[in-house]
Every structure is written in C-alpha cells, then in structure tokens.
Amino acid sequence: MKIVIVNYGAGNIQSIKFAIQRLGYEAVLSDDPEEIKNADKVIFPGVGEASSAMKKLKNSGLDMLIPKLKQPVLGICLGMQLMCNYTEEGDTKGLGIFDVNVVRFNHGVKVPQIGWNQIEGLDSPLFEGVTQNEYIYLVHSFYAPITKDTIATSTYGLQYTTALHKDNFYGTQFHPEKSSLTGERILRNFLEI
C-alpha cells in the first residue's frame, strides 16, 4: 500500500509519519502531484495558520488537485479545516469539499483549546472499535459547526464537529497521531478502509 503525506510545508508531519510506522506501514512525504494522485491513501496534515497554509497549497497547485482525488483522503486538524468551504482564520476560502464554514471559539472558553476531550456521536467505519466518549487530543482555536457530514462531535462551550466524512474524504479536528491508543486505532481504520 502506498501512503502519501501531503508535504506543503505546514507544520509537524514527522509525527504522522512515525505514527503510521508504528502501525507497521510506511508513508512518504510528497508534494509531487503525480505521486499524490497515484497513492492508495492520502493524508493531508496541517498545523499553523490557515491563510498562509492555503497560500502554500495554491503555490504548488495542490488546491486544485486535492478536491479531485478519488482514493481515501484524511485531513487532520488544519487539514480538515482547509477542506471546508471557508475559515474565519485569515478570512480564507477553503477547498470546498465539506459544505461548512469554520469559525472561532467564542463562548467564554479559553482559546486555543489545548488537551484531551471526548468524542461522541461516532458514526463511521473510521471509528470501528472505538467506543463513545473516548479521549482524543486537540489543539485549535477554530472549529467546524455540526453539519450533515459530521461523524463525531465534542463539547467545548458548545457541541461542535470533531470529524467529517463525505464520499472518499475524511477529516479529523483531533490529532490521531497524538491521541494515544485511540488515535492509533482511528489511523489504522483509515489505512484499512
């Protein structure tokens, strides 16, 4: 199986590579459209600020490629947010895969949310073997409200989306690569879809 982690200069991707390695698979980092197109699984990571990450995607033409991919694609954290229509962060237009607008936490909670929260409303093969209310690691200031593509939610001042699924596209607001055994299970589920 060929696993490609999209490498567009956005943050900590080493951890995802290692997490996949711990599951017994190998992943390559790439920004080459051909290599990404030909992968069996694509992971679209992202840590950092939305508008500058989007700029990098555009510079490499990956903003056109990613929405057209046919194999399973997993966006993580900012990756997931960039797969949405729009994010308030830096007033940034997204890839438009998930029909939802990402907004800033503004409900009397500390921002960013940093730490372990629980996921519930699990509704996807992505969560096979994962029980409701298990803990996942999050670090983010912006969130996707609940939408028709929501397959997991968490509560932080309000209930919001922590995972999305539409066709071959998946997204998690949490970091499976940093979410201990629960995260490893979710990552394995994705790789074995």
Partner 1 sequence: MLTKRIIPCLDIKNGRTVKGVNFVDLRDAGDPVELAQIYSEAGADELVFLDISATEERRKTLANLVLNVAEKVNIPFTVGGGISSIEDVDILLQNGADKVSVNSSAVKNPQLINDLAGKFGSQCITVAIDAKQIDGEWIVHLVGGKVPTELNLFDWAKEVEERGAGEILFTSMDHDGTKDGFANEALNRLSTTLTIPIIASGGAGNIQHFVDTFRDGQSDAALAASVFHFKEIEIKALKQELRNNDILVRL
* Contact residues for partner 1, defined by CB under 8 A: 11-12, 14-15, 18-19, 21-22, 47-49, 78, 110-118, 135, 137, 139-141, 155-156, 175, 177-181, 183-184
Residue 115, SS3? strand
| Nearest-approach distance from CB 132 to partner 1, in angstroms | 14
Instruction: State yes or no: is 84 an active-site residue.
Output: no
With respect to partner 1, which residue has the nearer C-beta, 165 or 191?
191
State both tokens at 134. Answer: 């298990």
Q: Which of 84, 140, 165, 177 is catalytic?
A: 177
Ranges assigned E (strand) in 112-187: 113-119, 134-140, 142-143, 150-155, 159-166, 169-172
Residue 100, SS3? strand
What are the Cα distances from residue 113, in Å, to 37, 41, 84, 152, 153? 34, 29, 20, 17, 15
With respect to partner 1, which residue has the nearer C-beta, 15 or 30?
15
Query: Strands 98-104, 84-87: parallel, antiparallel or unpaired by DSSP?
Result: parallel
| Nearest-approach distance from CB 100 to partner 1, in angstroms | 21
With respect to partner 1, which residue has the nearer C-beta, 31 or 184?
184
Residue 72, SS3? coil
With respect to partner 1, which residue has the nearer C-beta, 49 or 71?
49
| Nearest-approach distance from CB 97 to partner 1, in angstroms | 22
| Nearest-approach distance from CB 183 to partner 1, in angstroms | 7
Torsion from C-alpha of 18, 21, 27, 31, nearest 10 degrees = 0
* Catalytic site positions: 77, 175, 177
